[in-house]
């Protein structure tokens, strides 16, 4: 089992990451890997994220430092494509691009809007903006890969939305119902 913290579109022009509930979650969440989908906007943010754990970063259109345009990872037998999304091929041909790289999961950014999209053979996740740009509420994605299952949780401060691909998932509103077979107080 692998746990990923996926963030993007921080757009911090000066200084490092400010303390917020999502940053504390990343710090204390025991993640195997942190992924930033681009638009960090300065090297201080990059250095702050590196202090939190193993980090993979791709370039967004506002990143002045040299970063790769895309990354391809193989985790738990699953191929992941990480691309910011401002590139013409990503905007127009994301499904074709994922097929070319044989990716099952695409992590993207650029829109600042958190999203999970199931396209059948392909799952696309945008963690939104860690700083809440254009939406007011910062978001991130928590992804768990486990024996062919992909669990994606879009996490805000005080709320979440979760989906699972390859198996059955209980809706978030069912977690509070008594006798549902889930112990309360379970960790993220």
Full residue range of the structural domain in which residue 94 is found: 2-174
Q: Is residue 124 assigned to a domain? A: yes
Residue 23 to residue 7: CA distance in whole angstroms: 10
Q: Is residue 61 assigned to a domain? A: yes
Tell me what pLDDT residue 12 has: 81
Residue partners of 40: CB distance under 8 A and separation at least 6 = 10, 12, 46, 49, 57, 60, 63
- Residue 28 is part of a domain; what is its CATH number? 3.60.21.10
Q: Is residue 184 assigned to a domain? A: no
* Each residue's pLDDT tens digit, 17-47: 888 889 899 999 999 999 999 888 888 989 9
Helix/strand number for the chain, H first, E second = 3, 11
Q: Is the model's pLDDT at 172 over the cut of 60?
A: no
Tell me what pLDDT residue 89 has: 61
* Each residue's pLDDT tens digit, 8-18: 999 887 888 88
Q: Is residue 93 assigned to a domain? A: yes
* Closest alpha carbon to 152 in 116, 98, 108: 116
Q: Is residue 181 assigned to a domain? A: no
Q: Is the model's pLDDT at 4 over the cut of 60?
A: yes
Q: Is the model's pLDDT at 121 over the cut of 70?
A: yes
Q: Is residue 153 assigned to a domain? A: yes
Residue partners of 97: CB distance under 8 A and separation at least 6 = 81, 83, 89, 90
Domain count, the chain: 1
Q: Is residue 187 assigned to a domain? A: no
Q: What is the pTM of this model?
A: 0.82
User: Which of 61-65, 72-76, 110-114 is predicted most confidently?
Assistant: 72-76
Phi, psi of 24 (to 5 degrees): -65, -35
Q: Which residue has the tokens 């999502």?
A: 22
* Each residue's pLDDT tens digit, 122-149: 899 999 998 877 767 889 999 999 988 8
């Amino acid at each position: 089992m692998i746990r990923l913290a996926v963030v993007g579109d921080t757009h911090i022009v000066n200084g490092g990451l400010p303390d917020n509930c999502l940053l504390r979650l990343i710090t204390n969440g025991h993640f195997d890997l942190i992924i930033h989908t681009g638009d960090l906007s300065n090297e201080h943010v990059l250095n702050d994220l590196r202090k939190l754990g193993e980090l993979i970063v791709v370039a967004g259109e506002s990143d002045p430092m040299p970063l790769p345009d895309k990354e391809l990872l193989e985790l738990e037998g699953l191929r992941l494509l990480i691309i910011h999304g401002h590139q013409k091929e990503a905007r127009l041909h994301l499904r074709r691009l994922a097929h070319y790289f044989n990716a099952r999961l695409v992590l993207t950014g650029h829109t600042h809007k958190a999203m999970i999209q199931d396209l059948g053979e392909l799952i696309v996740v945008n963690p939104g903006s860690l700083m809440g740009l254009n939406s007011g509420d910062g978001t991130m994605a928590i992804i768990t890969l486990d024996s062919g299952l992909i669990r994606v949780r879009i996490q805000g401060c005080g709320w979440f939305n979760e989906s699972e691909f390859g198996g059955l998932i209980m809706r978030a509103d069912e977690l509070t119902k008594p006798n549902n077979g889930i112990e309360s107080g379970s960790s993220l």
